[in-house]
Structure 1
Amino acid sequence: MARQLDEQIAGRFQVGQRLRVLDVGMGQGTQALRLARAGHTVTGVEQDTTMIAAARRDLAAEPEGIRDRVRIILSDGRDTGVHFLPGSFDVVLCHGVLMYVADPDPLLAGLARMLAPGGLLSLLVRNGDALAMRPGLSGDWAGALAAFDSNSYRNRLGLDARADRLDTLTATLAAIAAPLHAWYGVRVFTDLAPDGAEPPADLDALLAAEDRAGRTDPYRGVAALLHLCGVRD
């Protein structure tokens, strides 16, 4: 996903441009810290205090110049209009959040308002068109059959979550003036890898295969996750 995001940023902004980035649901700050290291100013929004503590711990180990480029706000991301003026950011990330939001449209509309004209909205969502893949490949035939007719699922954390379909999100992005510019699949081949598994010795080859599959039909259509990139009109 980082490769995909970098590709979209490089295609939209001038080389060396210092971007204003909003990362909603930043988790432990993986993307926020990576982008700050690249020279961008990042505001991270997260509601899980444990995640915030982990992000602050990693940030504290960075040089002062990088620490100064990161701001962290405790919030669930639905009150961006309280914290920021419309058009305040060049890039808005919302990765792994929509699956926990019952009605994502208001959140998405709020995020789109935060974008400056020409700004990039990056979403990472569970692929509702491929919900049967994980249970099917695991031999859970009842679960696979049920997944064909549902947008709901139980994730690896044991939490009930929801998936989004590409056509629905495409229509939503158009309606909020941030139409879909590009989309990718994420975790095409590796979705069944156990949590906490050690990276394999051939990690570079694995990433190359995932990257190629994530941008190639029909493989990207059955990925566990979808990475959608919209551009503000």
Structure 2
Amino acid sequence: MSDRMRRRSSMRTAVVWQVLRDALERRVAAEGRSVLDVLDTGGGTGNFAVPIARLGHRVTVVDPSPDALAALERRAAEAGVTDLVAARQGDVQSLFDVVDRGAADAVLCHGVLELVDEPDDALGTVAAALRDGGTLSLLAANRTGAVLARALAGHFAEAAEALADPTALPRRFTVDELTALLAKVGLRPGAVHAVRVFADLVPGVLVDDPASFDALLDLEKAAAELPEYRSLATQVHLLAAK
């Protein structure tokens, strides 16, 4: 991966990773076990799975793409965590064909709800993979952020249509909608963070420039904690407990 791509990946995942790492530490303390069982649904090439394995946890990645899973295995080998990372081909609909119910201390559901026809059914399946007391990390596309992005790109008619009719942007969600979905499947919603508030709005050269990268990342982390900036974010991240 080039330095440019590595910086962009870091900018996209930094806030979520910090929240997730802290949540795993709290789960370790609550369980009294140093090794957790983590399930990453739609985990692709291992952007989160490999760093989690580096912390010493067992991670199972379920993804429909054989190419992504092959890249995951190479990445795990390069990181020296092959024994902690398992790749399983499948999707949320067939999740329990490849993993057991109620076997995960933590489940990642990142960018999954945007790809399914019935988000509540998918989230219910994901919730069923958790042990009692387990933690869900949910990352989803933000509807208001999508409207803003279209307006800034000059697609004013699309933005106006989405303002008038929320269904014009399918598989985009508000925090209230995600919170309601979590409660519907029996999970207790917790912390909410805004993700990519500024990084997708500023010129790409500022993301790629090492001189401005740290300042922009600090700004992202600060905004992530402030509820008033959620509406600007490309994505929202929620933690929930079973």
**TM-score, with structure 2 as normaliser:** 0.84
* Letter matched to residue 40 of structure 2: D
Give, in whole Å, the separation in 2 of the partners of 1:210 and 1:51.
28
Q: Which runs of 5+ in 1 are unaligned?
A: 154-160
1:1-233 aligned at under 5 Å gives the runs 1-14=16-29, 17-63=34-80, 66-148=81-163, 149-153=165-169, 162-192=171-201, 194=204, 198=208, 200-232=210-242
Cα deviations by residue, 1:6-45 (Å, 9 ceiling, x for unpaired): 2222334318721100000002111000100110000001
* Letter matched to residue 68 of structure 2: M
Is the 2:63–2:88 Cα contact (8 Å) retained in structure 1? yes
Q: Give 1:48 shift.
A: 1.5
Residue 139 to residue 167, structure 1, CA distance change in 2 (3 Å): same
Give, in whole Å, the separation in 2 of the partners of 1:54 and 1:198.
24
Q: Secondary structure at the match of 2:208?
A: coil
Give, in whole Å, the separation in 2 of the partners of 1:81 and 1:57.
25
Give, in whole Å, the separation in 1 of the partners of 2:43 and 2:233.
22
Give, in whole Å, the separation in 2 of the partners of 1:76 and 1:199.
37
Q: Secondary structure at the match of 1:77?
A: coil
Residue 152 to residue 24, structure 1, CA distance change in 2 (3 Å): farther
Which residue of the partner structure matches residue 156 of structure 1? none
* Letter matched to residue 150 of structure 1: P
Is the 2:37–2:104 Cα contact (8 Å) retained in structure 1? yes
Q: State the identity %.
A: 36
Give, in whole Å, the separation in 2 of the partners of 1:203 and 1:115.
36
Give, in whole Å, the separation in 1 of the partners of 2:168 and 2:51.
32
Residue 199 to residue 34, structure 1, CA distance change in 2 (3 Å): farther
**TM-score, with structure 1 as normaliser:** 0.87
Residue 48 to residue 170, structure 1, CA distance change in 2 (3 Å): same
Give, in whole Å, the separation in 1 of the partners of 2:17 and 2:56.
15
Which residue of the partner structure matches residue 3 of structure 2? none
Q: Which runs of 5+ in 2 are unaligned?
A: 1-15
Q: Give 1:151 shift.
A: 4.0
* Letter matched to residue 132 of structure 2: P
Cα deviations by residue, 1:29-76 (Å, 9 ceiling, x for unpaired): 11000100110000001112221222122122232xx11000000111
> Any runs of at least 4 consecutive aligned residues in structure 1 with deviations exceeding 6 A, and if so which?
none
Residue 34 to residue 108, structure 1, CA distance change in 2 (3 Å): same
Paired positions, count: 222
Give, in whole Å, the separation in 1 of the partners of 2:35 and 2:176.
33
Give, in whole Å, the separation in 2 of the partners of 1:163 and 1:69.
33
